[in-house]
A and B are shown apart, each in its own frame.
Chain A
Amino acid sequence: MYNENFIKDIGTKIIGYSKAQQTEVFIYGNLSSLSRFSENEITQNVTQEDINISVRVIHNNRIGKATTNRIDDPSLKQLASNAFEIALFQKEDKLITPLPGHQEYEEIKDAYDKETADYSAMDRAKAIKSVTDECEKQEINAAGIFSNNTAYICLMNSKGLYAYNKFTGAEFSITATKNKRAGWAEKIAKKVKDINTLDIANIAIKKSINGQNPSDIEPGKYTVVLEPAAVTDFMSYLGFLGFGALSHIEKRSFFSDKIGEKVFSDNITISDDAYYPISQGIPFDFEGMPRKRITLIENGVLKGIVYDLKTAKIAGTESTGHGLPQPNEYGPMPLNLVLKQGNATIQEMIESTKRGLLITHFHYTNVLNPKEMILTGMTRDGVFLIENGEVKNPINNMRFTESIPNIFNNVEMVGKKAILQSSFFGDGFVIPGLKVNNFTFTSKTDF
């Protein structure tokens, strides 16, 4: 991988080549390796190394942008020229925000781990083999991934802003299947040594074995005990639909004009915190603004939303450091959500439930109605009936159709242990389990 000085030189050259009044260079590079296995053998094994250089210029209130992965001087000159020429054709945008100058950033602790960066294909293969050997012993088919990656983000501009962050990450996830009944588990972390693949595999194996001989129940309203992975889908769409300033300004958010109002149960507190110890955040956004810690929901009350430079200008406030690459049609978005822990264990949630369902995670969750934040999705890889405080038999998968406000207004208990979960929108969220009442299932399957 290219080192920081090399990357900085690329950015400096492009800014020098640019004829625009303001120039921003965004460089993302990665070395990503992933081993994929199914039927207890590695089926795909990849190593990808790449660099992506994007130039945004502002000239006479007009914006232009161009991208390449070529790093030779003629290509970099052409890149700066392409972005400038695109800007010349634009209409003037009076709301355009000038590029920010120099900024100070907080350090993200332990963002880079050399052991994770150096972890090899053979290291991953050995770890996978110990898992697949265990699965074979138990007559289970294992499918999953084990990945490690190193990446850097560099953002610099002609007004003196310079931001650089290098980070590592690793992920292991597994679906263990026996007689068509699957169990699933996942762990993501900044350091590969924090992932015990066999421990994770054993969770999935246990779910698969306990999932044999499922029974049917009818759709309807149920109390559900949601493991952290099952909560993540709701958090992900909540972040996408609810907390960005643009949808508030345009009055199309469920939360529009509700700041200061009680919107969720008392026991729900949500923040966006890139610096949370197990988060995989970066300390600046895609405009180079320092990423602030923001309380979004406190004890059920909507306290804040996130801004980029443009929405902050419209709203007469300051950027919270949540801008996406500009220009974009989505507005700002929180990428490091943290749902504050409560004081219950998953076991205590189960013991307090007369009749309900224990859910591992959901599949293909999607939005039915964005204004009302109504979602639909399927249970997956482990659904179990709870009766009189005990986990009983497994249940065939069911489809839910439910609104996010209804879910977070019916939270009876919040888990005391929060873990980092991969998220559809964002860099991974810190999530505990939840016990939710009156959760609506609308149809079922026979598996």
Chain B
Amino acid sequence: MRKFTDLALNTAKNLGASYCDIRIINTEYENIKTRNGEIGSIDKSETMGYGIRVVIDGAWGFASSSLITKEGIENTTKKAVDTGKASALTIRNRVKLAPEPVYKDKWTTPYIIDPFKIELKDKLNLLYAADEILRKDKRIIIATGNLSFLREHQWFANTEGSFIEQILLRSGAGISATAIGDDVQIRSYPTSFGGQYMSMGYEMVESLKLLDNAERVRDEAIALTTADQCPPGKKDLILGTGQLGLQIHESVGHATELDRVLGMEANYAGTSFATIEKLNNFKYGANIVNLVADSTIPGGLATIGYDDDGVRAQRWHIVKNGILSGYSTSRELAHTIRENRSRGSNRADGYNNIPIIRITNLSLVPGDWTLDDLISDTEDGIYMDTNRSWSIDQRRLNFQFGTEIAWEIRNGKKGRMLRNANYQGITPEFWNSCDAICDEKHWQLIGVPNCGKGQPGQRAEMSHGCSPTRFKNITIGVGQKGNTSEQV
């Protein structure tokens, strides 16, 4: 690959660029979905291409292509330079990159079993076996199974001298059952929207024990169709990890992406209430709330050796003892918060997109409660788990989430199952109402494989570690009879 990366870097320099990087990426992808005993979708793909980014006249330019030839790379580099020159027409602030050491390195996701070497028939047999259990009851109208594997082989080189090769691997798996009765209800395992995803090999799929959980998933979906509606009101809310992961993602992760904070996403994903004057003085959450960004944690979907700026992976606090303590940053924007090094959060979706700041793995540090003790300690509460719906405003303040399942908690006992559960809050009020976090035995990483951001739209993957956590006096059952909204 050196000859191609050198060609791009030299061409850019000859055309006047002050900085250039190139990422060549070969992607292998396999996705199998079953639906009611048939193939819901199946795809096996392989792509190869490259993106070239330049700074010229103080402004960014970018172009991508899949034509990996001398002529293709020269033309694409020229296109990147031309777009950069056009950007310079409106320039107010020249691009200033935070320094980073030069690396010559190779990094690979640790894994035990290569998922691409498992026979397709074995993968299908697993999904069909789960399907058979899920559809043993006729009230199940849709049973799904999902397996997804992605390997990205990347070569990064820049004009500062770095040359980094990375092989990133991730696996995903899950099942779901949709039941019809008085209502239509879905139940998923281990999490919703395709299941759990981690930077691991096929060993992750085996560890999930999909078949052992299929009967419970089926029975809970059926039970939900006749369960009582989640009542409206205010209660103490315990969130299971299948919901809390997304709560962290939406109300902390996105709110602390520095590009959003500075207004660069204002026209699309929005901005943030967590503005830079609040750094190190804003009470984001209760004292027990510690949220740590970590692109080195084993199994995290954003666990990498280096980001797409060529910055080495790091670990840092976003919220420390309840105080806003950091942001996700890039080489371009680190200086805006007077940091002299990027946190290494600049990532692109594939070869054909420009890197933008993305949430890395962001986790809530465990507390010291057991779940049994937490439930016993809750007088009038609700336990919600597994995300079904999500919405948050453009400044990441007002959110409303729905979950697949909930249980009432009365006088320290987990009671009746509830359907159509949801809750609503305002981010800092919500995190400041946190009064108990379960311990590391309950802590798990929840993968988010489909985070959308940017224009053109880009997808990114990251994980959020957490354990069941309690929040006091939260609005639940929005839209149910008796709430502010009346019946909808």
Q: Which residues of A contact B (CB under 8 A)?
A: 32-52, 54, 63-70, 82-83, 85-86, 89-91, 93, 95, 120-122, 124-126, 128-129, 132, 141, 143-145, 147, 173-175, 177, 182, 184, 219-221, 250-252, 327-329, 363-371, 374, 376-378, 380, 397, 399, 401-403, 406, 440-445, 447
Contacts and interface: CB of A to CB of B under 8 A. Distances in A.
B479 A442 contact: yes
A45 B264 contact: no
A145 B456 CA distance: 9
A126 B89 contact: yes
A379 to B, nearest CB: 9
B422 A38 contact: no
Contacts of B80: 47
A37 B400 CA distance: 30
Given A440-B479, A444-B398, 12 more contacts: A50-B352, A86-B44, A121-B86, A121-B87, A145-B455, A250-B141, A363-B270, A366-B389, A368-B422, A380-B394, A442-B484, A443-B398
Contacts of A41: 87, 90-93
B397 interface: yes
Contacts of A250: 141-142, 180
Nearest to B146: A329
A264 B70 CA distance: 60
Given A44-B354, A367-B389, A399-B424, A38 B66 contact: no
A397 B273 CA distance: 14
Contacts, number: 281
Interface stretch (B3-11, B46-54, B100-108, B431-439): B46-54
Nearest to A141: B263
Contacts of A447: 395, 397
B42 A327 contact: yes
A47 B53 CA distance: 11
B86 A125 contact: yes
B267 interface: yes
A406 B488 contact: yes
Interface of B: 33, 35, 37-49, 59-67, 76, 79-80, 82-87, 89-93, 119-121, 124, 128, 141-142, 144, 178, 180, 183-184, 262-268, 270, 352-354, 356, 388-395, 397-398, 400, 402, 420, 422, 424, 426, 455-456, 475, 478-479, 483-486, 488
B60 A44 contact: yes
A333 B146 CA distance: 22
Nearest to B456: A34
B143 to A, nearest CB: 11
A397 B393 CA distance: 9
Contacts of B33: 329
A46 B63 contact: yes
Contacts of A367: 389
Contacts of B119: 89
Given A37-B90, A121-B82, A442 B62 contact: no
B89 A122 contact: yes
Contacts of B270: 363, 380
Contact of B141 (A39, A251, A399): A251
Contacts of A173: 267
Contact of A38 (B178, B263, B388, B486): B263
A67 B45 contact: yes
Contacts of B87: 35, 41-43, 45, 121, 125
Contacts of B85: 121-122
Contacts of B66: 49-51, 69-70
A316 B184 CA distance: 25
B125 to A, nearest CB: 10
Contacts of B479: 368, 374, 376, 401, 440, 442
Contacts of B478: 376, 401, 442-443
B26 to A, nearest CB: 10
A121 B61 CA distance: 10
Given A45-B84, A68-B47, A70-B66, A40 B90 contact: yes
A43 B456 contact: no
B391 A378 contact: yes
B415 to A, nearest CB: 23
Contact of A66 (B44, B82, B264, B353): B44
A52 B29 CA distance: 14
A366 B488 contact: no
A364 B144 CA distance: 26
Contacts of A145: 267-268, 455
B384 to A, nearest CB: 13
Contacts of A83: 44
A365 to B, nearest CB: 7
Given A125-B89, A399-B424, A366 B398 contact: no
A375 to B, nearest CB: 9
A91 B38 CA distance: 7
Given A45-B61, A46-B83, A66-B44, A38 B264 contact: yes
A85 B394 CA distance: 47
A366 B192 CA distance: 15
B33 to A, nearest CB: 6
Contact of A376 (B38, B65, B354, B400): B400
B97 to A, nearest CB: 14
Contacts of A48: 63-64, 352-353, 456
A44 B267 CA distance: 13
A387 B487 CA distance: 26
A440 B86 contact: no
A36 B259 CA distance: 13
Contacts of A397: 393-394, 398
Nearest to B84: A45
26 contacts: A35-B83, A39-B93, A39-B262, A45-B59, A45-B87, A47-B62, A47-B79, A48-B64, A49-B67, A63-B42, A66-B45, A120-B82, A122-B86, A143-B264, A173-B267, A221-B486, A327-B40, A329-B144, A367-B389, A368-B400, A368-B402, A376-B478, A397-B398, A399-B398, A442-B478, A442-B484
Contact of A65 (B43, B391, B398): B43
A129 B89 contact: yes
B390 A366 contact: yes
Contacts of B142: 250, 252
Contacts of B44: 65-67, 82-83, 86
Nearest to A254: B184
A378 B392 CA distance: 7
Nearest to A444: B398
